[in-house]
Structure 1
Amino acid sequence: MTTESMPWSGGTWTAPPVAVSEEGPDLLVTAAEGSDAWRHTAYGFVHDDAHALLAPLADPGAVEVSFDATFDQQFDQAGLVLRTDAETWLKAGVEVSDRALQVGAVVTLGRSDWSVAPVQEWAGRQVTVRASRTGDAVTVRARVDDEPFRLVRVAPFPAGVPVTAGPYCAAPTRAGLVMRFRRWATGPADAALH
C-alpha cells in the first residue's frame, strides 16, 4: 500500500476546533465540548460539528490517518472521515464507549448506523485507520503500531460522487480532549478486499 503524506495545511476544517498547533511533524487538535457526528438513528438528534480536516480524495482512492489513542472519557473519538455532504459520510476510528476503547465505524446515508469491537489493548498506542473507496463501497481497516491491518467494515457508499477525506476528532461529553495526529496520507485504493 503506497501512500503519500498530506500536509496538515492541505485540508479545510468542517468545524473549527478550539485550538490547533503543530509540534514537529504532529498536529495537536483540541476538540470542543459537545462536538460529534451523528444523524437521527436511535438517539433522535443530528450532530454535525465533529472536527474533520478534509481534502478531495481520488475515486478510486484511499486515505490513512495515524494518531495516539491516549483518551479515556465516554465517547472521546478520533480517526478519519469520508464526506460528500451533511447526509452522506463515513467516520471510522477508535472511540471510548462503556468505559472501553472500541474500533468501529459510523456510516451515514441519510441516517447513521454504528458498529464497534473492543480493542482495549490499543489504549495509549499509535492507531492507523485506512479507508479505501472503490465503486459503491468503502473498505475500512485499522491497526495498532506496526501490527497487520485488520478488517473493520465493508460499507456501501454512493459511487461516482465527489468525496473529501481526512483526520477527525470529537468530544461529545467533555472539554479538554487534545488529539495528537501523527500522519495523514492518501494513495491508490486497495487492490483486493482480502
Structure 2
Amino acid sequence: MIDTVPWSDGVWTNDPADVVTDGTGLHVTACEGSDAWRITSYEFIHSSEHALLAPFEPESAIEVQFRLDFAEQFDQAGIFVKVDDETWIKAGVELSDGEESLGAVVTRGMSDWSLSPVPDWSGRLVTIRGSWSGNSLTVRARVDDEPWRLVRVAPLDAAAPVTAGPFCCAPTRAGLTVHFTSWRTTAPDAELHTSA
C-alpha cells in the first residue's frame, strides 16, 4: 500500500526562507548558508538544513520526489532521516564541482559523504527512497520511471523515535527553490538485492 503524506503532517527542523503549496506540490526556498554536516574534514557543525519531518516507523519506506533544477555549488535536495542531532542520514542529489551527483551523508557523531555523478538527470523528476528494515536503511533513487539504483546501505537501529521527510539546503547562495512533487510512505523493500 502506498500512502501520500500531506505536507502539513511535517514539522520543519529549520524554517525555510519561503514555502508555497499549490496543485503541483511544495515549493521550498532555502536560506543562504543552510546545510547539515558534522565535523569530518571541514571541522564545523552545521545543522541549519530545511527538513520537513514526520514519524518514520520501522519496516516501512518513504519516497520523496522533486524536480532537479540546481545552479550553484552544493545545492541539494532529497530525504532526511533523523534519530537525533548527532545521528542522521541525508540522501539525494547535490550539485558538486559543477555536476549533479547522487549521494548520501551518513552521520553518527561525525559525517561521511559519498557521491556518484548523474549529469543526465538535470531537469527531470528524481525520486529518493529510504527503506527501513531490520537494523538498516537502504537508500535507492531513480529518475522519471527508470529502474531504481542502489545508493547506500546504512545502519539505522534506533530505540528512540525516528523522523523522516523531504529536505533541501543551499550552503553557498540565496534563491534556491526546490519543487517537491510528492512525499509517500509504503512497504519496505522485500530484499536488498533483486534477482537478475
TM-score bracket relative to the smaller structure:
over 0.9
Check whether the contact 2:20–2:26 (CA below 8 A) recurs between aligned residues: yes
Give SS of 2:111's match: coil
Kindly provide the CA deviation profile for residues 126-145 of structure 1, in whole angstroms up to 9, marking residues without a partner as x.
Answer: 00000001121110000000
Check whether the contact 1:135–1:160 (CA below 8 A) recurs between aligned residues: no
Match of 1:165 in 2: 164
- How far apart, in 2, do the equivalents of 1:186 and 1:65 lie? 9
Match of 1:177 in 2: 176
- How far apart, in 1, do the equivalents of 2:88 and 2:2 lie? 22
Quick one: which amino acid aligns to residue 137 of structure 1? Answer: S
- How far apart, in 2, do the equivalents of 1:15 and 1:76 lie? 17
Match of 1:41 in 2: 40
| Pairs within 5 Å for 1:21-170 | 21-170=20-169
Unaligned 5+ residue runs, structure 1? none
Give SS of 1:75's match: coil
Check whether the contact 1:62–1:188 (CA below 8 A) recurs between aligned residues: yes
- How far apart, in 2, do the equivalents of 1:128 and 1:169 lie? 14
- How far apart, in 1, do the equivalents of 2:134 and 2:87 lie? 15
- How far apart, in 2, do the equivalents of 1:101 and 1:25 lie? 23
For these two proteins, the number of residue pairs brought into alignment is: 193
TM-score (norm: length of structure 2): 0.96
Q: Cα distance, 1:160 vs. partner? A: 3.4
Quick one: which amino acid aligns to residue 37 of structure 1? Answer: A
Quick one: which amino acid aligns to residue 182 of structure 2? Answer: R
- How far apart, in 1, do the equivalents of 2:174 and 2:16 lie? 11
Unaligned 5+ residue runs, structure 2? none
- How far apart, in 1, do the equivalents of 2:75 and 2:54 lie? 23
- How far apart, in 1, do the equivalents of 2:131 and 2:29 lie? 27
After superposing the two structures, state which structure 1 stretch, 154-163 or 169-178, moved more.
154-163
- How far apart, in 2, do the equivalents of 1:29 and 1:141 lie? 23
Check whether the contact 2:83–2:158 (CA below 8 A) recurs between aligned residues: no
- How far apart, in 1, do the equivalents of 2:41 and 2:4 lie? 37
Check whether the contact 1:135–1:159 (CA below 8 A) recurs between aligned residues: no
- How far apart, in 1, do the equivalents of 2:137 and 2:69 lie? 27
- How far apart, in 2, do the equivalents of 1:103 and 1:72 lie? 15
- How far apart, in 1, do the equivalents of 2:160 and 2:146 lie? 33
Check whether the contact 1:36–1:172 (CA below 8 A) recurs between aligned residues: yes
**RMSD (Å), alpha carbons:** 0.9
Check whether the contact 1:59–1:160 (CA below 8 A) recurs between aligned residues: no
- How far apart, in 2, do the equivalents of 1:39 and 1:3 lie? 34
